[in-house]
Amino acid sequence: MTERRPSLAPQGEPRFRHPGPPLYSQLADYLRQQITGGALPPGTRLPSLHELAGQFGVARVTARQAVQLLVEEGFLASRQGRGTHVVHRLPSMTYENMRTSWSAMVKRIEGAQVELLHAADVTTCPLLAADEPHPAPVYHYMKRVHIKEGVRFALIDLYLDKRIYDLAPARFNETTVIPVMGEMDVYIESARQILTIDTASVEASRYLGIPIGSPVALVDRVARDRSGCAVYVASMVHPGQRVRFDIDLVR
């Protein structure tokens, strides 16, 4: 069987950002997109590292780092004497699906593990506007990483009304907050979130295991009870390649 050889997109080589994430990360992102998008189908043999470096205008060590990253992620397989090929069964990706339903969000994040980085009781929430009319008297602040199926999918600064936190502190500490609020029948009258596309900070890179400057989704979320009190306020960072939108368009 003749091996299929990859070809560059009609537009030519991708334009890497300078400054930006490490070149190997940008090259890996491009190749990953070509694989998941079908431009490099299963079984495709990649050019040699020397050829890749020449095609994309990078050093050979950069090409090797990009390929190794994709091998570790399960998109490529490399065997001595046989070269590097796109795997026949692509790895499944855990996505943060940004649905516009509170119930869908609860289902998406339930069962996640938590790595608690810092916690404290505070009387102010810097994520709220200075003129916020209905803050909680005291918040329990938590900085945490959320992990599901082995994937570190969110770095979160979270402020929870301490009156709610004190109802089940152990549960709130061990898993995601919103599903626990549902278990306790905490009624949410309204909720809103704003998503912004940005690049990974040093902190996000450290805790999420992603390159500095790589794409991320920043989500600011506020949930209010019947009285209008902001009982849940959070700012979170998601790796960009694990975020997608599923939105019903209304006429």
Domain positions in the chain are 23-86, 96-244
Query: 163 CB contacts (<8 Å, ≥6 apart)?
Result: 136, 137, 138
For residue 244, the cross-strand partners are 97
Which run of H or E residues covers position 113? strand 113-122
- pLDDT value for 168: 94
CB-CB neighbours of 28 under 10 Å: 25
Determine the pLDDT at residue 39. 81
Say whether 96-244 and 23-86 share the same fold: no
The 10s digit of each residue's pLDDT in 119-173 is 999 999 999 998 999 999 999 999 999 988 788 889 999 999 999 999 999 999 9
H-helix or E-strand spanning residue 206: helix 202-208
Q: pLDDT tens, 69-78?
A: 899 888 999 8
C-alpha span between 172 and 121 (Å, rounded):
14
Task: Give the fold, CATH level 3, of 23-86.
Answer: Arc Repressor Mutant, subunit A (1.10.10)
Radius of gyration of the chain (CA): 22
Q: Cα(96)–Cα(153) distance, rounded to whole angstroms?
A: 8
Torsions phi, psi for 109 (to 5 deg) = -105, -5
CATH number 2.60.40.420 given to 96-244: no
Q: What's the pTM?
A: 0.66
